[in-house]
Chain A
Amino acid sequence: MREGMKRAAAWVMAGVLAAGLLTGCQKEGGENSSAGEKSQETVSLRFLDTSPSDVRQAYFEDVFARIEEDLGIEITYESTPLEDAANKIMVMATSNSMPDIVTTQDNWLGQFTASEWILPLDEYLEGKEGQFADTVTKIVWANQKEMYGHIYTVPDGMMVKGIYIRKDWCEKAGIDLESLKDWDYDQYFEVIEKLTNADEKQYGMTYRGTRGAFDVMMVYLQGFTGGRTYDEEGNCLLNSDECLDAFEKFTGMYKEGYAPEESINWGFVEMVDNFCGGLTGTLNNDSEVVVSVQNSMEDDQWTVLPIPKSTKDGKIYNTVNAPYSYTISKDCENQEAAWKVIEYLSQPENNIEYCKQVGMIPVMKEVGDDPLYGEDGVYAAFVEQLNNPDMVVPTGYGPFDSTDLQQGPLYQEIQKYLLDEQDAKTALDNICGMLEERMKTYLDENEGAVVDTPKTMQ
């Protein structure tokens, strides 16, 4: 009897395990069928936010509720932290489960377009391009057409870099901020030196040591190459003698103690935290940081200055990008509905509401003059740069996928130099070697491809 019970229990356990396995392996048939029934009344879409925050989520959930009411399109908000976003999208794309609308960074487009994970939007935008600001048409889309042959994104808002600076520290150090509105890099380095007082735990520079460390430095070096990364043949221009001097000057800020020693390990989060926390006096970053700074510092403690001019040609070299642009994925089954959602999100009133909340510059011409973006607004320094005829948007790494380089090899070469493991020339040559190899491979593999050129608003 006992033996029989044991056997019966064993069969039950095996049965339960097998049933569990089968349930785990089967497709979501049940859910799909109910979704199918629902889809007769409402169209359902998935939206992926790659830079989630409480503010962004609240905005999107609110606007999605309005879209459901106005257009009858139900949207599910999904999110993934920015650090893992490219990786997660890649996994979703390779398993054919990408959400319908994906917010995408400009530097992912090389891979996303080559792998055809996102769809061209030229047809949808036909006749509507004029509604968008010049920064979108003359820079973002001009670049996409040049590099990828089509327009793939609708920018959510524009981001430009600026130098966040501690007003109160400057006052103490006798620095006149008004005189710095037209500054160059030498003046910037001087300010960093003056603001540093390590004994008081005050450092002039927020140095970026890890992911993206070369991005900021590259823009400075491009002040000596006319904004170019490569020549027409794909040879990297960033290791010239002038660039080498500039590289040494920039990294010298860290080596000479004008930035915290530990910032060799800092990424975006640490940079913002330490500026807001009062350890560092300047921060080179995008306009989206405004909201974080506003939330943690008093208004009279900080301001934003434009990116310094090149000491070579007097031009401002600054990146302009739309970091979380809307794209339609290859897995989207209802592209018309997805486009309607993007159009709704881009309506001037929605666009400005969104930009104000997340710290970006609106992309729609109809937005008009909002005091926040005017002369006395917190975004003044960013907007002024966009209107400055001397501003040049330098080229990036190239149309190929460079995320792996940015997330390791590039910054590690700089770190080795900072730790005296190698000299500056070796570090810069190695960086250029990696970039040049990728660029030339790209040019070889893509017949007719050309090296992109710097863009201006003119």
Chain B
Amino acid sequence: MVQNRKKEPIIVKRNQNYRKRMMEPYALLMPVLVLLLVVFAVPLINSFIMAFQKYRLGSPDIGFNGLDNFRKLFADDDLGLILKNTVIYVICSVAGQFVLGLTLALALWKKFKGRGIYQSVVFLPWAFSAFVVGLMFRWSFNGEYGVVNDLLMKLGVIKENIAWLGTPGYSLFVIILAMIWIGVPFFAIMILAALQSIPEDIYEAASIDGAGAVKKFFRITVPYIKPTIIMTLLLRTIWILNSFDLIVVITNGGPANYSMTLPAYMYTRAFSGYDFGFASAIGVILMTALMVYTLIFLKVTNYEEGM
């Protein structure tokens, strides 16, 4: 009886210690979880709610309006044009960045004199802010004073100035070009890092077996860097789709929405028209589209197996 009384507090204490130990990781994670909740989950949920509200900043009558914002969006005459621009912008920018980034990475893979300096120079665009790049392209492609027109005239490619930023088609082209320029280093850095992790002896073995350069590239290099390519493509697609800074700085979506993409339109409607309900509806659609894209992309590219 006496022995039992002594054992009981020990068990309780052990249980308490065990519980404390179990709770410790959660307690440690709590500040981060609170931070994420405040800066990520709350705005996300809020914007989801706003998508179903008549929410014009400053307007006294804010309230739920069902699917009105979505109806308004799908009835928008310019939606087709904006979606087309968005698809062209994303595909051309990602493809351009990938092809040039891969080429650059392959060029920098082998050692040569001055590689370090060359590498620093070509990676420089990644360090520039989109605002600076936007201004640079806006002035380079200025229809009257721009260096591009001047150069093309001197080379005899064009006979009269082109209003790059004021002509449908060309204005989007300039934005895509700027986006490619700014993003090539990211692909190059990521792919180069992956290339440098491929063991040399595999190539030596392949050479002994009589494999040529093309075969080695597709049978050894590509499979090795595939996870990096997939992840980089996925990330860049999402980033490019979401980015609107270059568009706002270079053309602000003009002329007549010919260089407007969906996120830029969302930004314009939110911060020029103050229609946060409508802008949130665009945001919800964008988010859904990106989630679907991510799932399909990872499935199609067999990312899990590639790892």
B28 touches A407 (CB 8 A): no
A412 touches B257 (CB 8 A): yes
A262 touches B32 (CB 8 A): no
Instruction: Decide if B53 is an interface residue (CB 8 Å cutoff).
Output: no
A160 to chain B, nearest CB (A): 27
Over the window 220-244 of chain B, the binary record of Cβ atoms lying under 8 Å from chain A Cβ atoms (1 yes, 0 no) is 0000000000000000000000000
A11 touches B28 (CB 8 A): yes
B272 touches A260 (CB 8 A): no
A261 touches B143 (CB 8 A): yes
**CB within 8 Å for A419 and B163 given contacts A114-B60, A408-B273:** no
**CB within 8 Å for A412 and B256 given contacts A111-B58, A262-B163, A265-B165:** yes
- Interface-lining segment among B129-137, B209-217, B247-255, B285-293: B247-255
- Most interface-central of A18, A265, A403, A416 (chain B CB within 10 A): A265
A13 to B60, CA, bound (A): 44
A17 touches B32 (CB 8 A): yes
A183 to chain B, nearest CB (A): 28
- B residues 239-283 touching A (CB-CB < 8 Å): 251-252, 254-258, 268, 271-275
A243 to B233, CA, bound (A): 53
B272 touches A419 (CB 8 A): no
B268 touches A419 (CB 8 A): no
Instruction: List the B residue with the shortest CB-CB distance to A203.
Output: B144
Question: Which chain A residues lie closer than 8 Å to B251 at the CB level?
Answer: 265
A256 to B28, CA, bound (A): 69
Residue in A21, A261, A419 whose beta carbon sits within 8 Å of that of B256 in the complex: A419
- Give 7 A-B contacts (CB < 8 Å), ordered by A residue: A87-B271, A209-B166, A261-B167, A262-B164, A264-B254, A265-B254, A421-B256
Question: Which chain B residues lie closer than 8 Å to A10 at the CB level?
Answer: 28
Residue in B35, B78, B163, B165 whose beta carbon sits within 8 Å of that of A21 in the complex: B35
A91 touches B254 (CB 8 A): no
Question: Which chain B residues lie closer than 8 Å to A175 at the CB level?
Answer: none
A14 touches B144 (CB 8 A): no
Question: Which chain B residues lie closer than 8 Å to A260 at the CB level?
Answer: 143-144, 163
Instruction: Decide if A94 is an interface residue (CB 8 Å cutoff).
Output: yes
Question: Which chain B residues lie closer than 8 Å to A117 at the CB level?
Answer: 58
A111 to B56, CA, bound (A): 11
A449 to chain B, nearest CB (A): 16
B269 to chain A, nearest CB (A): 8
B300 to chain A, nearest CB (A): 37
**CB within 8 Å for A14 and B274 given contacts A90-B57, A401-B58, A415-B255:** no
Please name the 10 residue pairs, one residue from A and one from B, whose CB atoms are nearest each other, closest first: A261-B163, A404-B273, A415-B256, A262-B143, A17-B31, A262-B166, A407-B272, A18-B31, A262-B163, A264-B166
**CB within 8 Å for A264 and B60 given contacts A18-B31, A404-B273:** no
Instruction: Decide if B34 is an interface residue (CB 8 Å cutoff).
Output: yes
A4 to chain B, nearest CB (A): 13
B residues engaging A (CB < 8 A)? 24, 27-32, 34-35, 38, 57-60, 78, 142-145, 161, 163-168, 171, 251-252, 254-258, 268, 271-275
Question: Which chain A residues lie closer than 8 Å to B171 at the CB level?
Answer: 265
Instruction: Decide if A93 is an interface residue (CB 8 Å cutoff).
Output: yes
Sorting the interface of chain A by its residue count into under 10, 10 to 19, 20 to 34 or 35 or more gives 35 or more
A262 touches B165 (CB 8 A): yes
A262 touches B254 (CB 8 A): no
Instruction: Decide if A115 is an interface residue (CB 8 Å cutoff).
Output: yes
B268 to chain A, nearest CB (A): 6
**CB within 8 Å for A209 and B58 given contacts A407-B272, A419-B168:** no
**CB within 8 Å for A408 and B272 given contacts A201-B144, A263-B166:** yes
Question: Which chain B residues lie closer than 8 Å to A201 at the CB level?
Answer: 144
Question: Which chain A residues lie closer than 8 Å to B254 at the CB level?
Answer: 209-210, 264-265, 415
A176 to chain B, nearest CB (A): 29
**CB within 8 Å for A408 and B268 given contacts A262-B143, A264-B255:** yes
Question: Which chain B residues lie closer than 8 Å to A451 at the CB level?
Answer: none
A10 to B28, CA, bound (A): 7
A419 to B171, CA, bound (A): 13
A370 to chain B, nearest CB (A): 38
Question: Which chain A residues lie closer than 8 Å to B275 at the CB level?
Answer: 404
Residue in B35, B145, B252, B274 whose beta carbon sits within 8 Å of that of A87 in the complex: B274
A115 touches B60 (CB 8 A): yes
Instruction: Decide if A364 is an interface residue (CB 8 Å cutoff).
Output: no
Question: Which chain A residues lie closer than 8 Å to B273 at the CB level?
Answer: 403-404, 407-408
Instruction: List the A residue with the shortest CB-CB distance to B259.
Output: A265
Question: Which chain B residues lie closer than 8 Å to A7 at the CB level?
Answer: 24
Over the window 401-441 of chain A, the binary record of Cβ atoms lying under 8 Å from chain B Cβ atoms (1 yes, 0 no) is 10110011000100110110100000000000000000000
Over the window 96-113 of chain A, the binary record of Cβ atoms lying under 8 Å from chain B Cβ atoms (1 yes, 0 no) is 000000000000000100
A310 to chain B, nearest CB (A): 29
A403 to B271, CA, bound (A): 11
**CB within 8 Å for A404 and B165 given contacts A265-B254, A421-B256:** no
**CB within 8 Å for A14 and B255 given contacts A264-B166, A404-B272, A404-B273:** no
**CB within 8 Å for A93 and B257 given contacts A14-B31, A260-B163, A262-B163:** no
A262 touches B144 (CB 8 A): yes
